[in-house]
Structure 1
Amino acid sequence: MIFGASNAVTRKLTEIGAQNFIGDRNPISLCNVLLVGNLCALLVLITIYWQQWNQTNLQQISKQDWFYLSIVAILSGAIAPGLIFQALALTNVNNIILVGRLEPPLIIALSIYVLKETVSLWEIFGSLVAFFGVALTIFLQTPKTTMVNMAGFTLGLGEVLAAIVAIITAISTIIGKQKISHIPAGIYNIYRTALGSIIFFFIALTLYGADHFMDVFSPFLWKWMLVYGAIIVVLGQSFWLKGLRSTTTSEASLAGSMTPLAGILAAYLILGEVPNQAQYWGGSLILLGIILSQIGIHKQLADQRKSAGQNSLTKEQMIESAMGFKGL
């Protein structure tokens, strides 16, 4: 529920900042929220995982592992969050949440094609239904913001960016599963967050200039970011890790799949966004796809004997792929 609310909370914070300009600038800009939010997340992750950064673990990571870990960090820790925050400035939260459901079908398709994994028919059918639901969400509504023409269709730029994020995140997940699933979760998460923050900072500097971050130390920004950090980062990440460690994979996957529903509810309660007809139709199909996929996951896990030493990163990545953006 906390992660589902992250998009709505982020949008609300920027609206609060727009009502309290410093000069002609919004102190709670999306870039400031992302950068400071990542710093808060990094502090939480270091507190939780610092013991994994020991000489024994680090010596087992090869140069090739660091290379692929860096690729994943840039894709999922810098580019994807940056595009999501840009999409938040262009379209409503519900569209971003629903279009983001492209990610699980893409991961399943890439898992079959690249990793040669065996996927149940329930998951395949569920992914197809969800994919069709995303298509309805995009094509049944008229964009109200910046538009682009693609293959004869007029689409909202915010929706296009959300779809690109889904593709990027799916690719980074597959790279993680194929190349770096043996890396301890603590090293993976801390390195991804740290490098992603640095890369995002320099990309933003290049695109927008140094003035873009001139309010990053504003007391007004940090006052609200402490709220954001306490709720989304500290509580969300702490509860997520605690739950992940003390529940079964199927139970955690089921809980994670409810994140889009929590996001839509949060958009209504926090922002007053009422789903339109296209979102109702598309969201209904996406929900059906989630249910079918969960049946497949439950059946597949029931037929497997889960080893006690299951890699925590692989488990976390699998479940996070059903959750979408978590505001970090």
Structure 2
Amino acid sequence: MSFPAQRPRRLRTSPAMRRLTAETSLEARHLILPAFVREGLSEPNPITSMPGVVQHTRDTLKAAAAEAAELGLGGIMLFGIPEQRDAVGSAGMDPQGVLNQAISDVRAEVGDDLIVMSDVCLDEFTDHGHCGVLDDAGRVDNDATLEIYAEMAVQQAAAGAHVLGPSGMMDGQVAVIRQALDAAGWTDTVVLAYAAKYASAFYGPFREAVDSQLKGDRRTYQMDAANRREAVREVELDLAEGADMVMVKPAMSYLDILSDVAALSDVPVSAYQISGEYAMIEAAAANGWIDRRAAITESVLGIRRAGADTVLTYAATELAGWLTEGK
């Protein structure tokens, strides 16, 4: 009989051997927790389509941030939900608005022990739910939106955000935000560009999370799921405009895009395991079809393996706890 000369299974014989030969690591510092704070709440409000995730009060958000810092997470990404919305998203520019207050609260709670990130976009703040202001024909006005993003960015930096995440996919948004920050003296504030953000069917639960008022869709400014080369172009433009970090969103259905971006980027790369991706795992686990802990861990490890330096995931805190248990 002829036996195989090569036996890759030798490197899989025990947990210790697999740990020794693992090519990709997963640590708490690789994880970023997206978190929602809603104006006017007296207690956390569960998000039904995202089990385990809530709209926070100001106090519970501070507690969540403190826990994230204690666990050694890489950061927390904040989204605000105002009580009042209008056509231009005024609440997003208000220094006393829900998001800017939340940034100040969290920064006061964690200082520099946790990177405080904030979403620079209008969709949570507009009464039409789009990521920018609309022109007379009802289309998103790219350049008018950029002016608002610049003001939002300066206000968020002043509130204490370490990192700003422009997520609206407006052309030129990184350059305008960088210029505004530098002109206002916020030269150390980091810009994490949502560089390749796709119009995805998997955003559904996020709509509930931010009480979205969206009418229509965002396909005229978010990327088409069919396109791969275009993502490279978008990332290269954001890098040229001064992005300090770049992001691919969603993550799990776009691992090829993530791999492409990681190969070309000379700055850190993030990927966002979005609400629908998280919800699918939760739903399957609730039905007993998959092992929840194993599936969450594997899914995030897969995103890391594809090239993400950091991963935004709603399971960040829980996963960090598991990783700590495993040490």
User: TM-score when scaled to structure 2?
Assistant: 0.23
Which structure is higher in strand share?
Answer: 2
Q: Which has the higher contact order (CA 8 A, sep 6+)?
A: 1
Which structure is higher in helix share?
Answer: 1
User: TM-score when scaled to structure 1?
Assistant: 0.23
